[in-house]
């Protein structure tokens, strides 16, 4: 059974759920899920967790993400991207930007900040997804979210289109950031193209296309690889039995550690846990024999 993470290079013009359906049809996992949905018009890294890999989803979704973005200036979109109704930005300033001027202008968007999620998003309010309300012409008040833009680099300027490389925290809406940049420049802007190229330590060179998917384990990132930066703890078979029964196990490590990779005597990953006051507590058990 395949256990781990498949880094799919999702093509444009299909939904993330459609991509997941295709993967499941090819690999036939018992369990599978998406970590970090991409809009249909976006492409790039779509992590799909398979079987026991579903237990490590949260360790992926909380990581920073990196995108390549093409923003079109002088226009606005009802959805913030090319899927919406496009209109010219009212009283837009003439577009004549140098790379240096643009970089200096957008540097103010770096760092921790609050961002109000767009109406065209999958967030739920009172059990209803915002985009469903938006399609009905409704707009409701949304709570701002704390985000962080760690890197924002201008790659090129060509006529009314600018290419950016953006690194940001979980929960950041690139469409909203691009709109804010457009407002600040006095030109308006929407996201014409969006491609995700990194999540945490997962890079685009590990991605595969839908056509390349096979049961070959070489295309799967193992759970051991995902937890390689965690402190690991070897335990005996008797200790493993206690942990499986929901009990805690004493350890000589005196400091508290929030995340550890629990391994058997063969150094195989068998669980994730924490150390509190000299005792190992299990967070997740991993069973590769299921």
**How far is residue 249's CA from residue 242's CA, in Å, rounded to a whole number?**
7
Backbone angles phi, psi at 132, to 5 degrees: -70, -40
Residues ≥6 apart with Cβ < 8 Å to 8 = 19, 23, 45, 46, 47, 48, 207, 208, 209, 210, 213
Residues ≥6 apart with Cβ < 8 Å to 51 = 1, 2, 3, 29, 30, 31, 32, 290
Number of C-beta neighbours around residue 113 at 10 A: 16
User: Contact, 45 vs 196, CB < 8 A?
Assistant: yes
For residue 211, indicate whether it is catalytic: no
Point out the catalytic residue in the list 39, 64, 81, 237.
Answer: 39
**How far is residue 164's CA from residue 178's CA, in Å, rounded to a whole number?**
10
* CA-CA-CA-CA torsion sign (5, 11, 17, 18): negative
Q: What is the CA radius of gyration of the chain?
A: 22
* CA-CA-CA-CA torsion sign (71, 75, 78, 84): negative
**Spatial CA neighbour of 266 closest among 221, 235, 230, 224:** 235
Enumerate the active-site residues.
Answer: 39
């Amino acid at each position: 059974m395949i256990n781990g993470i498949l880094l799919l290079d999702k093509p444009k013009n299909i939904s993330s759920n459609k991509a997941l359906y295709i993967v499941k049809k090819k690999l036939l996992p018992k369990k599978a899920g998406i970590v970090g949905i991409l809009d249909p018009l976006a492409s790039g890294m779509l992590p799909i967790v398979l079987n026991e890999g579903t237990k490590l989803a949260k360790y992926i979704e909380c990581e920073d993400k990196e995108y390549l973005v093409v923003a079109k200036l002088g226009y606005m979109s009802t959805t913030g991207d090319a899927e919406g109704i496009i209109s010219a930005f009212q009283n837009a300033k003439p577009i004549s930007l140098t790379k240096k001027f643009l970089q200096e202008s957008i540097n103010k968007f770096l760092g921790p900040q609050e961002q109000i999620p767009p109406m065209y998003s999958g967030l739920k309010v009172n059990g209803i997804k915002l985009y469903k309300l938006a399609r009905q012409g409704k707009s409701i008040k949304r709570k701002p979210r704390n985000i962080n833009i760690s890197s924002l680099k201008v790659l090129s300027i060509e006529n009314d289109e600018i290419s950016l490389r953006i690194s940001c925290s979980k929960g950041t809406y690139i469409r909203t950031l691009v709109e804010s940049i457009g407002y600040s420049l006095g030109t308006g802007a929407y996201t014409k193209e969006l491609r995700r190229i990194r999540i945490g330590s997962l890079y685009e060179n590990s991605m595969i296309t839908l056509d390349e998917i096979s049961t070959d384990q070489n295309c799967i990132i193992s759970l051991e690889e995902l937890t390689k930066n965690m402190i690991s703890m070897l335990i005996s078979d008797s200790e493993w039995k206690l942990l499986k029964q929901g009990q805690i196990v004493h350890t000589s490590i005196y400091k508290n550690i929030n995340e550890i990779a629990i391994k058997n005597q063969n150094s195989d990953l068998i669980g994730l846990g924490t150390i509190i006051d000299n005792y190992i507590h299990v967070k997740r058990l991993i069973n590769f024999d299921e």
